[in-house]
Amino acid sequence: MMYTFYKYQGTGNDFIMIDNRQGIFNKNNTKLISFLCDRRFGIGADGLILLENHDTYDFKMIYFNSDGNESSMCGNGGRCIASFAQFLNVVENKCTFEAIDGMHKAILHDDQVSLLMQDVSGIENHGSHLFLNTGSPHHVQLESMLKDLDIKEEGAKIRYGKPYNEVGTNVNFVKKLSDNSFAIRTYERGVEDETLSCGTGVTAVALAMNYIGETEKNLVQLETEGGRLEVAFKKSENGFEDIWLKGPAKQVFKGEIEW
């Protein structure tokens, strides 16, 4: 089978995009997906995303981690698929689509995409760290020596440790840069390594830092290893709402691969 694919990246978080509106891709073939995402034997990516038809919204997003398994919400992937949908002439400068965690909206302007995330409540403050779900589960902790930290080793300890165990969590290490700016490095489950950027991760960090008073701003800049993202939000009685993840999404190349 020959597959046509497109490669997208959002602040270094890279994805294989496939137009699956005709239903030709086998979503149950984890070996195929992990092969396509392999950086040595396949195309190489942090994940694979399918764009599919939807009865009510503009399209549906199906996201797989690089291990071949369908995963929870991917923020940068959501921004990239909105850009992909625009490229395919499915949408113009705005869209509404369904992901695994529900409905999302996106606004596109040049190569910048703003993605509406789900409302967030139930933030857990454990003193040394916080835990919250922004479409994917995230452990957030402040680190003064962020640059020198072995993210893969330290992230894996937390990802597989108590209380997360086999279910696991994404792990974010954070350093405050200014009143509304934070540096972040993320270990992603499913990738099982550091990624250059994580959309749900920077969203979690922005909300967590506001929650514990490290920032009073409702527009926060996040400096990832792959570039800058912004998160805007409003406080609500139960947590946070009207949460927008903003940043670049770019097509890198188009290709064909046989399986």
Active site residues: 74, 198
Please check whether residue 63 is in contact with residue 49, taking contact to mean a CB–CB distance below 8 angstroms: yes
Report residue 166 as tokens: 């086999």
Look-up of token digits 């920077």: 202
Q: How many residues does the chain have?
A: 259
Angle, nearest 10°, between helix axes 75-87 and 199-211?
Answer: 130
The secondary structure of the chain, three-state, reads CEEEEEEEEECCEEEEEEECCCCCCCCCCHHHHHHHHCCCCCCCCCEEEEEECCCCCCEEEEEEECCCCECCCCHHHHHHHHHHHHHCCCCCCEEEEEECCEEEEEEEECCEEEEECCCEECCEECCCCEEEECCCEEEEEECCCCCCCCHHHHHHHHHHCCCCCCCCCEEEEEEEEECCEEEEEEEECCCCEEECCCHHHHHHHHHHHHHCCCCCCCEEEEEECCEEEEEEEEECCCEEEEEEEEEECEEEEEEEEEC
Residue at 141: amino acid letter: Q
